[in-house]
Amino acid sequence: MTSIDVARRCGVSQSTVSLVFSGKAKGRISARTEAAVRSAAEELGYRPNAAARALKTGAARAIVLVVPDITNPFFGGLLRGAQTAARAAGYAVALIDTDNDREWGSASAEALRAGLADGLLLFEVDPPPRAEGGEPIVVIESESRGHPSARLDVEGGADAALRHLLDLGHRRIGHLASGFDLPTFAARAAAVDRLVPAPVARATTDLAIDAARVAALELLRDHPDLTALFCDDDVVGAGAYLAARELGLRIPDDLSVVGFDGLDISRVLDPPLTTVIADGAELGRVAFELLSVLLAGGQPRSRVVEVALDVRGSTGPPRG
Amino acid sequence: MTSIDVARRCGVSQSTVSLVFSGKAKGRISARTEAAVRSAAEELGYRPNAAARALKTGAARAIVLVVPDITNPFFGGLLRGAQTAARAAGYAVALIDTDNDREWGSASAEALRAGLADGLLLFEVDPPPRAEGGEPIVVIESESRGHPSARLDVEGGADAALRHLLDLGHRRIGHLASGFDLPTFAARAAAVDRLVPAPVARATTDLAIDAARVAALELLRDHPDLTALFCDDDVVGAGAYLAARELGLRIPDDLSVVGFDGLDISRVLDPPLTTVIADGAELGRVAFELLSVLLAGGQPRSRVVEVALDVRGSTGPPRG
DNA sequence: TTGTATGCGTTATCAG
DNA sequence: CTGATAACGCATACAA
């Protein structure tokens, strides 16, 4: 089923069909001819071949989004935001989950170079290999020389969360940190180091409940004087709840906890977790917006998406 | 940067380069020539153009996975399982999130017909439009005439969960059901209707915490005699916890709750939610396996993935 | 073992 | 307003 079949079907040339389907019919093809072509195509079930179009035009009208862990609901929101915006602009989005494996990320760069994708949305620290500067790449939650970025106001969020704890009177604040060496986590750590009286008790963990539980257990055992925990992510916060439960610590009476991201999981914890709410979908939307400017030949300015501290039941004054 | 450039670079013909990169060099191209081609390609940073290859061969070596809500972590696991298997087989996976909108789903069928994808993994009930039978489509968690399916043993899981409640002595068991008209949910409802003494108290809800909370509130107010709740999904179960908390009902003393899926969220609830554990990643893996058989021209048998009831703290004997 | 020639389905240029 | 015709980059049958 090709444009030639359609052309034959309604007695026009193949190029006429092409004109109609590439939206360039306006003012060149008569309305009657166009209607005839469309209805013939409809009857035959014709769809323009994407591969041929991509080959000819050099544009695939598709982008790829690379995330480290699609299992974390934050990235679900991110994808949805990006996909909604992309769809509206006529782009498809392919999602690559690297499963926290740096190598996989660069595999996606190949998709770009292979012509399958017109641009990349990277939630990864590694600048793509061979980046000669001109490639349509937007980095999310990281800073890469040369590429525009979309990021959350992590500093602002972490500051707000920590000040909230300090205002409540906490001084011995532990940091349950992500083990990943990404700017977004570095910013959290920097805020902690800046605001919390030294020395900071810190443990690192994967962003998974069990790992966080173990790390929290260790941190709380090594530092029984801690009155509050700042967690790099709500999932980590959930792990901290598990650890607190095991140790017989009540939240917030014995231990205050703050999380980051505002995932669903933070709301079903008991008590609800005080957390920094980050709008993943908005971040995805903004990232695509930057990319589409890039694809249009423009030079977008990096953008920062605001976050907001939501004070819920997991924080209170330290015990007497 | 095309195969012609590479050919020129090392003084061979374009077809030689093609042979090397399509893996058909064995026994046809001398080792020395092949090495020369590869190193020239390396220097030039050459990648075969995917669009041209797809156009010529008629295969894109990509599939698309359609899910209703990537925000639900279950689908994250599903994607990861499918993607891992696909990668191993040399396929890329594009993810389309329909955001519970049936229409979007069929948009993905267009990707197939447009030649961007070689096959479809559909987590949707709608049989694709114009399915003439021969299209490489695998449906997940649904039964479609003509297409092989990968599904969870939902009946078995629901049976186990309900029998567990019945064994504990519960008789007045409410059903917090998904509002979506999908086979996977119909199977849950069927199990409830089969095992629970009539009349069954049932409320339907979206698979979102707030919606579930509201539905649970209503159900529990209308039927104060309920001693247990069977929830179609852990997210719904989490909403039930919120409602119980609001109504001052203790779990499991005043109300037993069981969920479905075994998401992270079920483990951080207090007490941990008794739930039917479904391995989304395995389901994704199996689905891709079926699709790859289909793509190879075979006729795969539909497969069922086992689930397991995990009894945790949210279920106990009814009061009094 | 390697090179030549051709076509995949589309878009784009140019005549008519 | 419409129709020939030439690429796009690769794979492959066939010739050498």
Q: How do residues A12-40 score in pLDDT, each as one tens digit? A: 888 889 989 888 887 788 888 888 888 88
pLDDT band at A108 (very low <50, low <70, confident <90, very high): low
Position A241, amino acid: Y
Q: Is the CB of A13 under 7 A from strand C?
A: no
- For residue B23, give both structure tokens: 């893996």
Residue A313: helix, strand or coil by DSSP?
A: coil
* Contacts with B145 (C-beta within 8 Å, 6 or more apart), sequence order: B127
Q: Which nucleotides of D are covered by protein (CB under 7 A)?
A: 1-5, 7-13
- What would the pLDDT profile of A208-224 be if each residue is shown by its tens digit? 999 999 999 999 999 99
State whether B92 and A111 contact (CB < 8 Å). Answer: yes
Name the average pLDDT for chain B.
90
Contact map slice: A 199-258 vs B, CB within 8 A: 209, 235, 238, 241-242, 245
Minimum CA–C1' distance nucleotide for A47: C9
What are residue A50's phi and psi, to 5 degrees? -65, -35
Contact map slice: B 82-121 vs A, CB within 8 A: 83-84, 92-97, 99, 110-111, 113-116
DSSP 8-state symbol, A304: E
State whether B71 and A60 contact (CB < 8 Å). Answer: no
Nearest residue to A230 via CA among A240, A221, A218: A240
CB contact at 8 A, B65 and B150 = no
State whether B270 and A269 contact (CB < 8 Å). Answer: yes
pLDDT number for residue B50: 86
pLDDT number for residue A68: 87
Nearest residue to B196 via CA among B177, B214, B180: B177
Q: Is pLDDT of A319 > 90?
A: no
pLDDT number for residue B278: 97
* Contact with chain B for residue A298, Cβ under 8 A: no
Chain A hits for B267, CB-CB cut-off 8 Å, are 209, 242
**Cα separation, B1 vs A64, whole angstroms:** 22
pLDDT band at B250 (very low <50, low <70, confident <90, very high): very high
What are residue B12's phi and psi, to 5 degrees? -125, 180
Instruction: Calculate Rg over the CA atoms of chain A.
Output: 25
Q: Which of A62, A71, A238 sits opposite B77 (nearest CB)?
A: A71
